[in-house]
Each structure stands twice: as structure tokens, then as C-alpha cells.
Structure 1
Amino acid sequence: MAIGLYSLLEAAILCLNAVCILHEERFLAKVGWGVDQHKGFGEDPGVKSQLLNLIRSIRTVMRIPLIGVNIATMVLKLLFG
């Protein structure tokens, strides 16, 4: 089985799905990545807070388009195997 463009696209979709289903209170807070992790005023955000902002941004922006992309991926898988 060769790695093609479709396989890479499918892997990216699966990663986006994984990021979108992370629940902050149930999973991220237990690991220490919850909402209550605030930075001080005037401080540069660290890597941890930048990753949390990225997760929240992906969850906010990609929620609705990801539904359509998942449906299209499932239809393509059903049609072409």
C-alpha cells in the first residue's frame, strides 16, 4: 500500500477530528491544559498556551466545515473503496 495524496489528506482529516473532539474539562484539565491556565499581564505566551489557542481555534473554525468534509470522505470511501 503506497502513501498517496488521498492517504495524506485522510490522515489530516483524522487529526483534525481528533483535535475537534478534545473536551477541555474532561480531558485537557486533567492533564493540566485547562482553561484556568492563565498567563500574566504583559508576558509572552508560552508554547503550552499557544497550543491551547490553536486547539480552540481549530475547534471553533473547523466544526461545521469538518462535517461536510467527513461526509465527502465517507462517500468517496464507499464509492471507490
Structure 2
Amino acid sequence: MIKVSFRQAVTPDRLLGRMNATMRFVLTGALALGAALAGLLGEFVGIRAALWAGAALFATVWVPIFFSPLRTRKDLPA
């Protein structure tokens, strides 16, 4: 939730709708692309290898968050 609050705090009021629509589009597109890639991977290398690849990628999700400047922020910009 802090990411949404941060995005809304730094985005000018006149662009809030566009920013939210863009984020939804990008995230929904990433889900669709990930599902398609997972299906292809499962088809060509097998389900077990696809699950291991997914688990390995899922285990690295914390890396960008760990190095993000948002992690150490105490307050949102005014």
C-alpha cells in the first residue's frame, strides 16, 4: 500500500487517473505475459522445471524492494 500512496503523493492531481490506469495496464499485462511464458516453459521443458523456475524467480522478488529508496523513507513527500 505504501507504493500506491507514494505514487499518488508525487503525481500531480491532473495526472492521477492516467497514472493509476497505466499502472493497472502494466501490472495486468505482466500477469498475462507471465502466464503465457509459464505455459510455454511448461510445454517445452516440463512442468517440474517450470515450477522450479517460477520458485527461483519468486525467491528473488525481494531484491528490488530491498534496494529501493522507499524502504528507508520515514514519510511521504508533501
TM-score by length of 2: 0.30
**Between Structure 1 and Structure 2, which shows a larger proportion of helix residues?**
2
Q: Which one has more relative contact order, counting CA pairs under 8 Å at least 6 apart?
A: 2
TM-score by length of 1: 0.29
